Amino acid sequence: MKSQLTFEQKYQQLGQKDNQYDGLFFTAVKTTGIFCHPSCRARTPKAENVIFYDDVQTCLENGYRPCKICKPLEQIGEVPDFIKSIMVQLQKNPQDKISDEDLKQQGIEPHTIRRWYKKHHGMTFHAFQRMFRINYAFNHIKKGKSITTSAFDSGYDSLSGFNQSFQTIFGQSANKSKHKNVINVARIASPIGALIACASEKGVCFLGFVGQKHLERNFALIEKHFKAVILPTPNPHLNVLEKELKEYFAGKRQTFEVPLDIIGTEFQQKVWQALVQIPYGQTSTYKQQAISIDKLKAIRAVATANGANKISIIIPCHRIIGSDGSLTGYAGGLHRKRWLLDFESIKYKILLA
């Protein structure tokens, strides 16, 4: 099931600068000896100077060097080391304010970190810090601390400033938000595009690809279901998920152990449980899935339930194909579905050898 894109279709992607195909094929340029992601912002090479490869290893074996602009050897969505160090500081002391001067003393240019947070979180670094402090205060309020004490303990200089920030994030005052919850969200790097994950206190409730279909609709559903606000703050389940996904993409994990907090009807959950039973490296069809849950006459309903799956890869809806062997719909895109099936098939054959 290797990529069905023609040379012309792949070459057209180079002009689009669209990162949805990053990791699915690589552009090697004969005249420079460099290979890149399709979305690389470097100047588009002439078609006669281009060779497309399916993986990094083949590029390297043919003598090509990784591009210094798009860095194809890195996981897509990988967090830079300087961001990781800042995140450690925030997690240890969420009430502290890291100023531009503090960043400069650590050798980090404020405009660089500002640009990174704007690109990956849609907000400035200082706005991200405010979210951390608000989350810190909110957790203390839920544990019974007074609003005033929580506000000043979380680094705010005035109660009015705290209330204004709280209202902006939660949509209501701290006094009225005691029964609200927080769903934590994080970006996770992968070879085929950045993933976005959400988790409650019980477990992972969403996993999908950045930019996939209906992402905003899913987030709205999560907020409504959990009576919560989604914040980019730490969650131990997200840490476990990131570790297990890294092992999965390295070919060292076939099943996942991270706890899930699944949103769905009883029927949907029954359908998704059948998905989990499809062995790694193998595929099934909607009809076979319907038979497995004694719902042969409900094939269409089973297909609809598969489409409503909110936890990609872990609940492996990518393993469902058409009865004729064709690829069927996938929220992350058919190109990613094809990649996942190829990847699991290859790894499974290696394990059997």
- Model confidence pLDDT, tens digit, residues 207-263: 999 888 888 899 999 999 999 999 888 899 999 999 999 999 999 999 999 999 999
- What are phi and psi for residue 88, nearest 5 degrees? -60, -45
Question: What gap in Å lies between CA 38 and CA 48, rounded to an integer?
Answer: 16
Q: Which fold has domain 75-179?
A: Arc Repressor Mutant, subunit A (1.10.10)
Q: Strands 50-53 and 181-188: what pairing? A: unpaired
75-179 matches 180-259 in fold? no
40 given a catalytic annotation: no
Contact by Cβ (8 Å): 4, 325:
no
**Residue spans per domain, the chain:** 7-66, 75-179, 180-259, 264-352
Q: Which fold has domain 180-259?
A: Double Stranded RNA Binding Domain (3.30.160)
Return the half-sphere exposure (C-beta side, CA atoms, 13 A cut-off) of residue 202: 8
pLDDT tens figures, 164-188: 888 888 888 888 887 788 999 999 9
pLDDT on residue 2: 46
CATH code: domain 7-66 is 3.40.10.10
Question: What gap in Å lies between CA 183 and CA 179, rounded to an integer?
Answer: 13
User: What pTM, to 2 d.p., does this model score?
Assistant: 0.78
In whole numbers, what is the pLDDT of the chain averaged over residues? Answer: 89
pLDDT on residue 1: 41
Degrees to nearest 5, angle at CA 259 with 76 and 178? 95
% of the chain at pLDDT higher than 70: 97
Return the half-sphere exposure (C-beta side, CA atoms, 13 A cut-off) of residue 296: 1
In sequence order, the 6+-apart residues with CB closer than 8 A to the CB of 128 are 117, 121, 232
Please determine, for residue 311, whether its predicted confidence score (pLDDT) is greater than 70: yes
pLDDT tens figures, 271-281: 999 999 999 99
Q: Which fold has domain 264-352?
A: Arc Repressor Mutant, subunit A (1.10.10)
